[in-house]
Chains A and B, each alone.
Chain A
Amino acid sequence: MSLYSSAVKRPIFTALVFVGVAIIGLFSYTRLAVDLFPDIETNMLSVIIAYPGASASDIETNITRPLENSLNSCENLKEITSQSKDNMSIVSLEFNYGTNIDIATNDVRDKIDMVKSSLPDGISTPIIFKFSMDMIPVSIYSATATESVNGLYKILDEKVANPLNRVTGVGAVTVSGAPQRQVQVNVNPERLESYNLTVEQIAQVIAAENLNVPAGSFDIGTETYSLRVEGEFKASEQLLGIVVGSQQGRNIYLKDVATLNDTIETRVMESYTDGVKGALVVIQKQSGANTVSIAKDVKKIIPELQKTLPPDIKLTLLMDSSDFIQQSIDSLTETILLAAIFVMFVVMFFLGRWRATIIIILTIPISLIASFIYLMAVGSSLNIISLSSLTIAIGLVVDDAIVVLENITKHIERGSTPKEAAVYATNEVGVAVIASTLTIIAVFFPMTMATGLAGVMFGELGWTVTIMIVVSLICALSLTPMLSSQMLRLTNTQGRFFDRIHAPIKVFLNKLDATYAKMVNLCVRNRWKTLIACFGLFLLIMIPASQLIKVDFMPASDNSFITANVYLPTGTRMEVARATALKIDSLVREKCGDVFRTLSFSVGQADEDNTMAALQSNASNLISFRIRCVDPEYRDVSIYDVGDEMRNIMENMPEIYKYSVSPGGSGGMMGQGASTVDVEIYGFDLATTDRIAAEMKQRLGEVKGLRDLFISRQDYRQEYQIDFDREKLAENGLNSATAANFVRNRINGSYISTYREEGDEYDIVVRYDEVYRQSLQAIEDITVYNAAGAAIRVKELGKIVERQTLPQIDRQNRERIVKVSGSLYKAALSDVVDGVNNVIDEMRAEGKIPTEIGIQIGGSLEDQQDTNADLGLLMLLCVLLVYIVMAAQFESLTYPFIIILSLTFGVAGVMLALMITGQPVSLMSMVGMVMLIGIVVKNGIVFIDYANLNRERGMSIDHAVIAAGRSRLRPILMTTATTVLGMIPMAIPRGTGSEMWQPMGVAVVGGLTLSTLLTLLYVPALYSIFGANGVKRTRKKLKKAKLKA
């Protein structure tokens, strides 16, 4: 027994099956996480090796290069970049999308083991660092304080970070920008010398005193006691009382040679929020946790935590990644609802029966809900991709039900009872419905096989739409006939009120049918003219389009977030940077303060032992701004305008060396922030590449649409170096290492012991008092002791010279690289790339680029080229599959060809729509085009199928075409209208994040509208041409056969 007849015979069973699906689906819906994108597995690994004391170029030769050479042979490796900076080498590996990163990690570990023996001895254990999207903070709070600044770290750590850590899903909570407590022992070198003591001795004595030692256990009588020596300091003042040495029989106490300062660290990153100093509380999620719910929970708990804090500490939300997600998801949900309502009106308009409309519309919620089950089953989330797939599918899922219901209605009108009509009418169109659904699947299913970035983005889209379409097909073959058998009535009236409203529509539709039949008649009579007119129109659109339309990668969206980095001249003191930052802060606030929700910045250098900080750039001369604006609907300027304003302000501040403003945050991937263009200059000689980069930057400044030009290479740093004379060292029984260590312990300090209090540990640092660390003279006067105990001044061992060094050397694909990068503004990527290429060619022509220097364009362009290649392949695959499905259905090779031609008009329609809306061709509009392949051919299939049927029924070719036109106009217009109107809410820019999928909506609406209009004209013409040729051929054959006979 077939699906539909059993469904009709067992209405309760059928209804309950779908109710069951709905319940499971709704249950899944409540369990679905909400996120911005589908889970994208990381494809980046970094290997971090520390080599204390080595300069950037030492690191490059000794660590980075051997490491790169070994790691380069990893499988699936896409790109290898490295940074060699003072004390540290960071090699970053980018793998192809879809690579199993765990296997890659093992591979990398093996490769490191192989090369480890040839690396220097003093290196730290290599750290393999996996960067994933999960590490992007969920939210950042700032804590401002006035009186409590000194204890801020401890208070935040205990009262904020610890409770937040207990929130489900929260991975790590870090407090930064709050200085930690430190016990400083500041020694006076003059006294030290007079007592014949050294910093090292003092440090060792402190370490030796500050110790708890278990001394074992012993028995007294019947009991066993353990014996301990508790030497640890109970209070920091006790330090002053320890004996550090003796002279002439008298004890020398620490207080005789040093002062004690129980205070907070001096060199730290400071952060200011809305002009008030404070710390940052950064909240990261566990991998796979729900960003939106974490942010919600955190928001809920923060006011409670606020109550436990001292009154002067204020917690303010700085960044909340869930905001943008929630808003995008909300506006997409609205889009889905709007689409559903539009579709409902279309069905009502054409059918004029409310019962029929209800039956058809029911397929929408059922297929929507079924897709939630899929999302739940694969562990995905409600995200931009899955929700926009739902919007796309809404217009498509009703098509099958419409065809089935239309045929059932026809049978009822001819006299069948609804029950019989439901079975037999569904039987009649079942195969045709399956075939037309297959063409749609032929387009969306290959998307699941796409690779690269496109695969990540569209895999889920492909699956979701495929599943929804399949569910809608099942629905159309079971639920629709069942409901029709129960609900449809053999009457022509729908209630007096409804009839009155629908009467004019009916008249209009009948007139439309008649007019179109006349037009088809005309087309068939003037076949070639019609064809020429259609393709003429195609050329008329495509020729200006190829000139006017730009190519872009990802549309930039407004996520209310701006970051900016401001560099002062290298070596500027943090205090100066702070003053400048406050000045910028007030100037910016004056100009556009009303759109800011919070404005925060951080200055200064982060801790050396902070891995996260090692990956970010921080220096005493760098100011990083983080600005959160109010939601787009509450302001009339975009973040790009605000960015411009900030640029203007900084342009006029002479103290700023360079700056970059990134509205939307940095990046350009995934539709957040602007696209970037990088000019990569490869070459070993630093001076040459510096020169080229500088010139390139200047020339690129003149390219229209490109700004925020930035040279990636850091500036040479002014520094002092002590050049020890090796002979003198040797004469005094010293070597460079011991001498250097002496200097280091006096300036940087010796961190040999920790002070414990209430379970927390604080560093005890022993070094020269600050007044003895402030001049070159003081450094020259540092005394170094040799093994014999003789004191020698640094100035006797060598001299201090001023030099410039490069603090960091960047490499990419095993070559030194300088990148000149700029971000795009109100210009299409294609234009800017042309401009950049011109500049490169000019410089080549002028002989300014030596042959050994390689130049390449990277940035968004690279991503775009990769993705375009993937999409191109995908399109080809889709067209082939669709052709195969159609050829199989029609058992013919010519008819599918006629239909495939409608794709050209689809492309023309996309171009026309993009021209009208003034948008560039972007990744999203390309996806729209891929989708069109499946949608556009549907109209042709419906038309030709019916024309064939008419011919089989014995009509002449022309009559068959005209009759098909008259009968199929409504179904074609109806299915097209549902798809187009379903997409219109997407094509209209509304709300946060809509910039991203708008091009896709515009592409589908434009392409489908134009191709449908032209399909209705050129298909009859072309069909009759092919048909006439076929008839001629048969006649010729008959003639030949007759002649032979």
Chain B
Amino acid sequence: MKTVFIPYNQAYKDRILTLFDNLNIRGFTLWETVQGRGSRRGEPHYGDHAWPTLNSAFLTVVPDEKVDNLLARLHEMDAATEAQGLHAFVWNCEKMV
């Protein structure tokens, strides 16, 4: 089991949800508004006057075999519209009840 954390520009929300459905990923947690900025080029997403855009974040725990496919599809999405901003971080999920 792997934990995937996906902070993304709000505008991706519907597309990522569809992706989850396609990949048969059922469970997730969603933070509707989070703030942040990219480590390399990305613009800040603060939801204020200067940087009005905002991020959301999904956290989902998926079986190991689904991770690569998910990341590949997310990367594809990000590459198509780079200016929006999307990242995915994966780490181990130790236990779960």
Contacts and interface: CB of A to CB of B under 8 A. Distances in A.
A411 interface: yes
Contacts of A952: 48-50
A411 B11 contact: yes
Contacts of A953: 50-51
Interface string A930-968: 000000000000000000110011000000000000000
4 smallest beta-carbon distances between A and B, as pairs: A415-B81, A952-B50, A428-B52, A420-B11
Nearest to B77: A415
Contacts of A419: 14
A421 B11 contact: yes
A948 B49 contact: yes
A553 to B, nearest CB: 47
A424 B84 CA distance: 12
A interface SS class: helix
A70 B60 CA distance: 90
A416 interface: yes
Given A417-B11, A421-B11, A949 B53 contact: no
7 contacts: A414-B84, A415-B83, A416-B84, A421-B11, A424-B11, A429-B52, A953-B51
B10 A417 contact: no
Interface in A951-997: 952-953
A270 to B, nearest CB: 79
Nearest to B81: A415
B13 interface: yes
A429 B53 CA distance: 11
Q: How many A residues touch the partner, as a band?
A: 10 to 19
B84 A415 contact: yes
B73 to A, nearest CB: 16
Interface string A397-431: 00000000000000100111101110010011100
A878 to B, nearest CB: 27
Of B49, B54, B84, most A-chain CB atoms within 10 Å:
B49
Contacts of B49: 948-949, 952
Contacts of A417: 11, 14-15
B80 interface: yes
A287 B53 CA distance: 59
Of A415, A421, A428, most B-chain CB atoms within 10 Å:
A415
A420 B81 contact: no
A411 B10 CA distance: 12
Interface of B: 9-15, 48-54, 80-84
B10 A424 contact: yes
A949 to B, nearest CB: 5
Given A414-B84, A415-B81, A424 B53 contact: yes
Contacts of A949: 49-50
Contact of A414 (B10, B51, B52, B83): B83
Contact of B11 (A416, A429, A948): A416
Nearest to B43: A953
B13 to A, nearest CB: 7
B10 A415 contact: no
Contacts of B82: 415
B36 to A, nearest CB: 16
A427 B82 CA distance: 21
A577 B13 CA distance: 92
B50 A414 contact: no
Nearest to A429: B52
A841 B50 CA distance: 65
A417 B15 CA distance: 9
A374 B66 CA distance: 60
Given A415-B80, A415-B81, A417-B15, 12 more contacts: A414-B81, A415-B84, A416-B9, A416-B81, A420-B14, A421-B11, A424-B53, A424-B54, A429-B52, A949-B49, A952-B48, A952-B49
A420 B13 contact: yes
Contacts of B10: 420, 424
Contacts of B11: 411, 415-417, 420-421, 424
Contacts of B14: 417, 419-420
Of B9, B48, B54, B80, most A-chain CB atoms within 10 Å:
B9
B75 to A, nearest CB: 14
Contacts of B53: 424, 428
Nearest to A407: B52
A905 B83 CA distance: 41
Contacts of B48: 952
Nearest to B82: A415
A953 B43 CA distance: 10
Contacts of B81: 414-416
Contacts of B51: 953
Contacts of B9: 416
Of B11, B49, B53, most A-chain CB atoms within 10 Å:
B11
Contacts of A424: 10-11, 53-54
Contacts of B12: 420
A948 to B, nearest CB: 7
B47 to A, nearest CB: 9
Nearest to B10: A424
A949 B83 CA distance: 19
A364 to B, nearest CB: 28
Nearest to A950: B50
A567 to B, nearest CB: 74
Nearest to A432: B49
A301 B82 CA distance: 75
Contacts of A414: 81, 83-84
Contacts of A411: 11
Contacts of A416: 9, 11, 81, 84
A420 B54 CA distance: 12
A195 B14 CA distance: 119
A429 B80 CA distance: 26
A145 B51 CA distance: 85
B32 to A, nearest CB: 12
Contacts of B13: 420
A420 B48 CA distance: 19
Nearest to A490: B81
Nearest to A411: B11
A414 B15 CA distance: 15
A754 to B, nearest CB: 88
Nearest to A951: B50
A16 to B, nearest CB: 24
Contacts of B84: 414-416
B79 to A, nearest CB: 10
A417 B84 CA distance: 11
Nearest to A954: B50
A291 B53 CA distance: 57
A6 to B, nearest CB: 16
Interface string A414-456: 1111011100100111000000000000000000000000000
A998 to B, nearest CB: 42
